Chains A and B, each alone.
Chain A
Amino acid sequence: MQQFAVLQLTGCAGCEVSLLNAEEWLEEYELVYMPLVISANSIPDVDILLVSGGVRTDEDLYRLRRAVPHAGKVVAVGTCAISGGVANLGNRDEVHELFLAEEGRRHLPRLLPRCRPIAEVVPIQQALPGCPPTPELFVKLLFHPSDLHIAKTVCQECGRKKHKKMRPGHLTGLLRGAVLPDICLINQGYVCIGITTRGGCHAPCTRAGQPCVGCRGPSDAFIHKELESWLDAIRKIFTKMTDVPRDEIEVALRSPQLSLFLFQFSHDALTGAYPEQDVEVL
């Protein structure tokens, strides 16, 4: 039986909970380390190490560096491990000094200057993006990784229809109340970025009427390109489908708290989410 371990750094345990929702691994894999459900003091040698959460404290750094030599393969799982995740919002200059107040706690792991993706610290071989990755994606990762090379976007998986004549003049989607079924959210005035976001999740958010915030990161078409080409593709779709003034779109896309910036960028909106090293993105 292959053995695998799950190292949870600073995060929300959502990735672990999602993994528990996929029981299929029980038959072919032995889970030997995952503090959420197992009492074990250290990581033994394993075939696969899944790492979730970002590197926020010096203890995260220590535990990550200590775990990696025991692993045949290291997979960064979830947005926090891959790009820092939602905790990235704490890296913004305007709130950074609020964190300095926390320094007074003497007997605790120290906060690092910013929340870092794990690939900045250790070499990784694969990345499974998502916030969290669905149980199905975990099963594929463990059993059929070749099925995971999906070029598709969330937009292609969404099933909502685009309408040529329904052109919103402003981004007012969130104020509307009820969402119209079966119609593209951009037609309804939402900032939805499913057009450039990696598929594989089956679009649970947009199907449910929430715009895609890009938690699975860029699709294959954009993954190794400059951020600007990604933004350009989004701008183009809004120009094509809406009469929303250009500066209004620009503000929405550039707002450091909105949509794609929420999940994708670790400290600087102009740095790509993936490092230079050779990482297979699933």
Chain B
Amino acid sequence: MATLTFPLSRIEGHAQVVIEVEAGEVVSAHFQATEYRGFQHFVQGVPAEQMPVIVPRICGVCSTAHHIAAVGALEDVYNVTPPPVALKLRELLLLGQLIQNQATSLFLFTMPDCLGLNSIFDHSEDPKLEQFRTQFGSRSLMVRKAGTDLINAVGGQSIHPVKAVVGGMTTGVPPAEADAVSRQMKKTLPIACELFDSYWTRLLDMGNRIGTWGDNEPAYYISAGGKDRPDFASGVVQFMNPDGTDGGAFSAPEFLGRLTHRETDYSYAGKTSYKGQVIRANSLARINMFESMETTRAEKYLKRFRSDFGRPAHELLLYDLARGIELVYAIERAIRILEEPLVAAETAVAHTPQDGEGYGLVEAPRGPLIHHYRVRNGLIEKAEFIIPTVHNVMAIERALKVAAQRYVSPQKVDMELEHAVGRVVRAFDPCIACATH
């Protein structure tokens, strides 16, 4: 038996793909997460109210989602409801994170694949490509930065934000500051659309050139991002059946009860399944479920997407186009919210800490994120982090196997496989720091 190991790059964290081949047949394709810190162990004994400061450190890419899930879980334990202005501010935070994440994933992680480069920072010998690359690169950093600056303004710090607290937010955003961010967003919107248009063309060109990415079969889709329109704090996880019919909506504990979670000895991340079947989360799951994007430009992109690829869409490469639609939506939606008043006499309500159990659920860029805490004597007795990437692990492995079968034959292993493996994994934009925590 031969073992092929492919280290991964242009994803968050440390992971590799291991494919086992016997007599020209692909025996297995494993996605290995190779780092581990053990947050669920070491937060035991931590004063519960420190969690929103500690758990963003699970991941520097997704820190905003962890920050908000942590306050959500504690608000569930303490039975406290934040004022409406705080919920609006938290939505802005999640939008800022979505802008930053989707821009990074599209333009820094996967665009180099379309261009045949190792990186968007990689100098090219071809002068035409080099001109395109430098322009595209600096403009994508600009789009990213719009998201970062939004988190900064609302969350106090763009990585590991600090302003969400149990009961609300420490402060709002004064009008002058909101105006400045809004102006930046309005400037960013046309640039993001242009980059996305160019990305759309180049991605489909590559699709035509190489054929399928991997696995385009139906799967269960899950999202906590809303159904009629995007709502990243909808509070329920929505299922879509493989045939596109509604699979129901469930609260965090109900959702967890329906999943099967399994650990393996080859990865520090577990994997989940539903009724023994593959689940898919992240952008394509949400785009398949939204009735409408609600904002002008994003809605146009959604219509084009639906008419070109149908609903539900299953092709792997469409994850990236779905990300682009969300990027445009997040900028438009942020502009709209920034026009509303974001200061109030009270941005947080007082509360009395109490012991108990609670769930915090938000839709992170990669799918439904749940923090589940049990608090005793004011300290964390048990903490559980249910990470979106973990729901995608079976889908990633199924797609890897399809890709491997395509490039492995009894005569040889086509080393295009190395690129194929990268493309498959990046379509899911996994986050390893989160998945292993």
A residues whose Cβ falls under 8 Å from a Cβ of B: 8, 10-18, 20-21, 23, 26, 30-31, 35-41, 56-57, 59, 85-87, 89-90, 92, 94-95, 98-99, 102, 104-109, 111, 115, 131-132, 174-179, 181, 204-205, 207-210, 213, 255, 257-258, 262
Interface pair B63/A12, CB less than 8 Å apart: yes
Known: A174-B49, A179-B171. A132 touches B159 (CB 8 A): yes
**Beta-carbon contacts of B53-73 to A below 8 Å, as 1s and 0s?**
110011111010000000000
Q: How many A-B residue pairs have CB under 8 A?
A: 213
Whether A107 and B266, one on each chain, are in contact in the complex, defined by CB atoms closer than 8 angstroms, is yes
Most chain B Cβ neighbours within 10 Å, of A39, A92, A205, A207: A39
Q: A20-B144, A26-B138, A177-B165 are in contact. List 18 more A-B contacts (CB 8 A).
A: A10-B36, A12-B57, A12-B59, A18-B60, A37-B109, A57-B36, A85-B57, A86-B37, A99-B41, A105-B265, A105-B266, A115-B37, A131-B57, A175-B49, A175-B350, A181-B171, A205-B162, A210-B163
Complex formed: what's the CA distance from A92 to B41 in Å? Answer: 10
Question: Whose C-beta in chain A lies nearest to the C-beta of B8?
Answer: A35
Interface locus among B113-121, B247-255, B363-371 = B113-121
Q: Determine the chain B residues whose CB is within 8 A of the CB of A41 once the complex forms.
A: 7
Q: Quick check: B61 and A13 within 8 Å, CB to CB?
A: yes
Q: Contacts of B163 on A, CB cut-off 8 Å?
A: 208-210
B45, B120, B348: the one contacting A37 at CB < 8 Å is: B120
Assess whether B310 is interfacial by the CB under 8 Å rule: no
Cβ of B333 < 8 Å from any Cβ of A?
A: no
B225 at the interface (CB under 8 A from A): no
| Most B CB within 10 A of own CB, among A14, A15, A175 | A14
On whether the beta carbons of B50 and A257 are closer than 8 Å, the reply is yes
B38/A39 in contact, CB under 8 A: no
Bound together, the chains give a CA A199 to CA B266 distance in angstroms of 43
* B242 at the A interface (CB under 8 A): no
Residues of B within 8 A of A108 (CB): 32, 34, 265-268
A23 neighbours in B (Cβ, 8 Å): 138, 141, 145
**Bound: A258/B38 CA distance, A:** 18
From B60, B112, B152, A15 is in contact (CB under 8 Å) with B60
Instruction: Note all chain B residues with C-beta closer than 8 A to A14.
Output: 57, 59-61, 63, 159-160
Shortest Cβ gap from A39 to chain B (Å): 4
Q: How far is the CA of A140 from the CA of B254 in the complex (A)?
A: 50
Complex interface: stretch among B9-17, B323-331, B397-405: B9-17
> CA A15 – CA B59 in complex, angstroms?
10
**Known A12-B59, A37-B120; contact A178-B53, beta-carbon cutoff 8 A:** no
Q: How near does chain B come to A170, taking the closest CB pair, in angstroms?
A: 14
Cβ-defined contact, A13 with B59, below 8 A: yes
The answer to whether B119 touches A38 (Cβ under 8 A) is yes
Q: Tell me which of A59, A115, A177, A210 contacts B349 (CB under 8 A).
A: A177
B residues near A210, Cβ cutoff 8 Å: 53, 156, 162-163, 165, 170
Q: List the B side residues contacting A132 at CB < 8 Å.
A: 60, 159-160
Q: Could you tell me if B162 and A31 are in contact, using CB atoms closer than 8 angstroms?
A: no
**Known A177-B348, A210-B163: A56·B36 in contact at CB below 8 Å:** yes
Least CB distance, B211 to chain A, in whole angstroms = 22
Interface members, chain B 368-382 (any A CB < 8 Å) = none
Contacts of A10 in B (CB 8 A): 14, 35-37
- In the assembled complex, the CB of A3 is this many whole angstroms from the nearest CB of chain B, namely 12
Q: Is B392 an interface residue (CB 8 A)?
A: no
Which residue of B is nearest A17, CB measured?
B60
Could you show 29 A-B contacts with beta carbons less than 8 Å apart? A11-B60, A12-B63, A13-B433, A15-B60, A18-B158, A23-B145, A38-B119, A38-B122, A39-B10, A39-B118, A56-B35, A86-B57, A90-B38, A90-B41, A95-B44, A105-B264, A105-B268, A108-B34, A178-B168, A178-B349, A179-B171, A181-B171, A204-B152, A204-B156, A204-B157, A205-B157, A207-B156, A208-B162, A208-B163
Q: Select from chain B the residue with minimum beta-carbon distance to A252.
A: B47
Q: A10-B36, A23-B141, A208-B157 are in contact. Are A31 and B121 (CB under 8 A)?
A: yes
B158 near A104 (CB under 8 angstroms)?
A: no
CA–CA, A57 and B130, complex, Å: 39
What distance in Å separates the Cβ of A182 from its nearest Cβ neighbour in chain B? 11
Chain B residues whose C-beta falls within 8 Å of the C-beta of A85 in the assembled complex = 57
Given contacts A38-B119, A56-B36, A175-B352, is CB(A208)–CB(B170) below 8 Å? yes
Q: Is B360 an interface residue (CB 8 A)?
A: no
**Chain B residue at smallest Cβ distance from A12:** B60
Chain B neighbourhood of A56, CB < 8 A: 35-37
Cβ contact within 8 Å between A36 and B54: no
B36–A95 touching, CB < 8 Å? no
Query: Do residues B35 and A257 form an inter-chain contact, with CB atoms below 8 A?
Result: no
- A94 near B45: Cβ-Cβ < 8 Å: yes
CB-CB nearest in chain A for B437:
A12
Cβ contact of B42, chosen from A11, A92, A109, A207, cutoff 8 A:
A92
What distance in Å separates the Cβ of B165 from its nearest Cβ neighbour in chain A? Answer: 8
Residues of B within 8 A of A94 (CB): 44-45
B37 touching A177, Cβ below 8 Å:
no
Q: Is the CB of B36 within 8 A of A12?
A: no
Please, how many angstroms separate the alpha-carbon atoms of A217 and B18 in the complex? 40
A115 to B165, CA, bound (A): 29
With contact pairs A11-B433, A17-B159 given, residues A107 and B168 touching in the complex (Cβ less than 8 Å): no
* Residue from the set B60, B108, B120, B156 with the largest chain A CB neighbour count within 10 Å: B60
Q: For residue A91, give the distance in angstroms from its CB to the closest CB of chain B.
A: 8
By a CB distance below 8 angstroms, the chain B residues around A106 are 265-266
- Interface flags for B150-187 (1: CB within 8 Å of A; 0: not) read 00100111111011011110110000000000000000
How many Å lie between the Cα of A57 and that of B33 in the bound state? 13
Q: Within the complex, which residue of B35, B155, B166 is in contact with A57, where a contact is CB–CB below 8 Å?
A: B35
Q: Whole-angstrom distance from the CB of A90 to the nearest CB of chain B?
A: 4
| CB proximity of B155 to chain A, nearest CB, Å | 8
Q: Is the CB of A95 within 8 A of B45?
A: yes
Is B422 part of the binding interface, using a Cβ–Cβ cutoff of 8 Å? yes
Q: When each residue 84-102 of chain B gets 1 if its CB lies under 8 Å from chain A and 0 otherwise, what string results?
A: 0000000000000000000
Q: How far is the CA of A26 from the CA of B141 in the complex (A)?
A: 11
A160 to B425, CA, bound (A): 47
Which of chain B's residues have a CB closer than 8 A to the CB of A205?
156-157, 162
Cα–Cα, bound, A108→B432 (Å): 14
The residues of A that contact B152 with a CB separation of less than 8 Å are 204
Q: How far is the CA of A12 from the CA of B152 in the complex (A)?
A: 19
In the complex, the answer to whether A177 meets B351 with C-beta atoms within 8 Å is yes
Distance between A1 CB and nearest chain B CB, rounded to angstroms:
10
